[in-house]
Amino acid sequence: MNKTTADSSHDAPDFTPTRSLRFAAQATGAYRRIFAASPAAHILSRPSPVRYSGFDMTLDVKSVRSECDDVLSVTLTPREGITLPSWIPGAHLDIFLPSGRQRQYSLCGDPDDLSSYRIAVRRIDEGGGGSREIHESLKPGMVVDVRGPRNAFPFVAAPSYLFVAGGIGITPLLPMVQRCHRRGIPWRLDYLGRTRTAMPFLDEIEEYSSGRVTIRPDDELGPTDIETLVAAADPGAAVYTCGPAPLMNMVRAATFAGNPTGSVHSERFSPLPVVDGKEFTVHLARTGLTVDVGESESALAAIRRALPGVAYSCQQGFCGTCKVRVLSGSVDHRDTLLTESERADSMLTCRSRSTGASLVVDL
């Protein structure tokens, strides 16, 4: 997805710069520990990661193609001697851009074709610069460093599927549609967008004729009745949705109300909202600055006011990019990544908070 998750980007909103990382993939392929989500619960909103082995790789940019207004697809191929790791629908790549920015984008190619990976990126001019860098600078023949694939949006077994996509949210759902089509599993896709010219992969979707596809541009059909849309799902169907947060919230609510035997699964492009937050302060030991964290904002957001270049990526507590060492204070850990031993002296600033009035961190 354009993740992060994002834009899970994932790039809507755009994820902001991290430290400069360069990974050279060797032909022998040294493995690093990375993380993926466990099987989904009834609703997938905060994935529970499990460890698995995957690659840090340097891949070649084979092609950069315009898919619609403001959306490019990027096809990446392995260098000589490297075999691309397999992946299942819903997976994403961490992309390390030449500037040092780190972003997460859903894989939207063919899971059965390991000769290449494909991602899609919507340009977000008011974001942190990652999507603009890709649109303006990434060219065929260049190389990019990647990590993954990782999966926080796993494709679970179900008797049938309803897919509800909003704009660039089609990217993680497209491989799911393809898999249903190839395996003869009943499925429907409702694809929403502002206009047809803002909806990527329309031509490709037409190739999957085994299910029912409804294209719903707002300028042609007006607002979509989500309750009616979800009510048409088969009993027991798995409902997968990705797109703007208001759309996903409506799909979840309608599924719970109208299809209690089914399940609903979603992937966010934006940070999770702060729930039951209280104000506290974070003292940055190395820089000597103290920042106030509001009750409805993350520690990461507050820290970035003082240190705009601080590392982060997913903003949802599962990638670990924003991990910092805690020197003093008690942490309310809200991530889904750190082990208990790691939580003794570390936190993920994108999600976790203080249980008291202040924290001191190694920044």
pLDDT score at 10: 32
pLDDT score at 87: 96
Distances in whole angstroms, Cα of residue 151 to Cα of each of 169, 178, 205, 309: 15, 17, 23, 26
Residue 299, Cβ density class (10 Å: 0-12 exposed, 13-18 middle, ≥19 buried): buried
pLDDT score at 318: 73
pLDDT score at 25: 29
Rounded to whole angstroms, the Cα distance separating 250 from 221 reads 18
Rounded to whole angstroms, the Cα distance separating 15 from 167 reads 18
Amino acid in the structure at residue 81: G
Rounded to whole angstroms, the Cα distance separating 246 from 193 reads 13
Structure token digits, residue 349:
């600033």
Rounded to whole angstroms, the Cα distance separating 45 from 48 reads 10
Rg of the chain (C-alpha set)? 20
Task: Tell which residue, 1, 20, 18, has the closest CA to residue 9.
Answer: 1
Judge contact between 268 and 350, C-beta under 8 A.
no
Q: Which residues are 91's β-sheet partners?
A: 151
Write down the CATH number for the domain with range 161-267: 3.40.50.80
Handedness of CA 304, 266, 209, 194 (dihedral sign): negative
pLDDT score at 121: 96
* Tally of CB atoms within 10 A around 336: 18
Write down the CATH number for the domain with range 55-151: 2.40.30.10
Torsion on CA atoms 348, 350, 353, 358, rounded to nearest 10: 90
pLDDT score at 236: 92
Residue-by-residue pLDDT tens, the chain, 363 positions: 445 433 333 333 232 222 222 222 222 222 222 222 222 333 333 333 333 335 789 999 999 999 999 999 999 999 888 889 999 999 999 999 888 888 889 999 999 999 999 999 999 887 778 899 999 999 999 999 999 998 889 999 999 999 999 999 999 999 999 999 999 999 999 999 999 999 999 999 999 999 999 999 999 999 999 999 999 999 999 999 999 989 999 999 999 998 888 899 998 766 778 889 999 999 999 999 999 999 999 999 899 899 987 877 778 787 788 899 999 999 999 988 889 999 999 999 999 999 999 999 999
Amino acid in the structure at residue 274: V
pLDDT score at 51: 34
Domain locations in the chain?
A: 55-151, 161-267, 280-361
223-238 as b/e: b if 16+ CB within 10 A: ebebeebbeebbeebb
Rounded to whole angstroms, the Cα distance separating 75 from 73 reads 7
On the question of a cis peptide bond just before residue 308, with omega within 30 degrees of 0, the verdict is no
Judge contact between 93 and 148, C-beta under 8 A.
yes
Helix, strand, or coil (residue 269): coil
Structure token digits, residue 65:
């193609």
Q: Which residues contact 347 (CB under 8 A, 6 or more apart)?
A: 299, 323, 324, 326, 331, 333, 335, 338, 359, 361
Class level of CATH domain 280-361: alpha beta
pLDDT score at 150: 87
Rounded to whole angstroms, the Cα distance separating 229 from 131 reads 32
Rounded to whole angstroms, the Cα distance separating 338 from 247 reads 30
Task: Tell which residue, 152, 136, 150, 124, has the closest CA to residue 16.
Answer: 124
DSSP tag of 318: S
pLDDT score at 319: 75
This model's pTM is above 0.85: no
